[in-house]
Amino acid sequence: VHRKWLGWVESKVRFLVRQLERLAAGPPFNQGGSTPKFEAAMTVRPIPCTFSFQEPGWECASSMLVALNFAQQPCVIDLRPAAGEFVDLINQWP
């Protein structure tokens, strides 16, 4: 069952990454020219493997990682909508 669950969650992580990439693009900004420029506010890097570990009270435990690298300029990125949608997807496990 754990392996089936893990595969199901991995497919949902793809949706999370897609949502984060949309946020990462950020809004365009204009530096006085006529054409707005796009600068990524963050970079999204999914780590393509799972990590198994021991957790008291759980027969099987695994984790997946998604790395976020934020741009140098000050910016505010609200990750809550993407995280909330991901949690909603995960809670739909049959």
| Domain range annotation of the chain | 2-25+38-90
For residue range 49-73, what is the model confidence (pLDDT) as tens digits? 899 989 898 888 899 999 999 887 7
Model confidence at 6: pLDDT above 80: yes
DSSP string of 15-29? HHHHHHHHHHH---B
Q: Which residues contact 8 (CB under 8 A, 6 or more apart)?
A: 93
Q: One-letter amino acid identity for 23?
A: L
Model confidence at 31: pLDDT above 90: no
pLDDT band, very low/low/confident/very high, at 46 (cuts 50, 70, 90): very high
What is the number of residues in the chain?
94
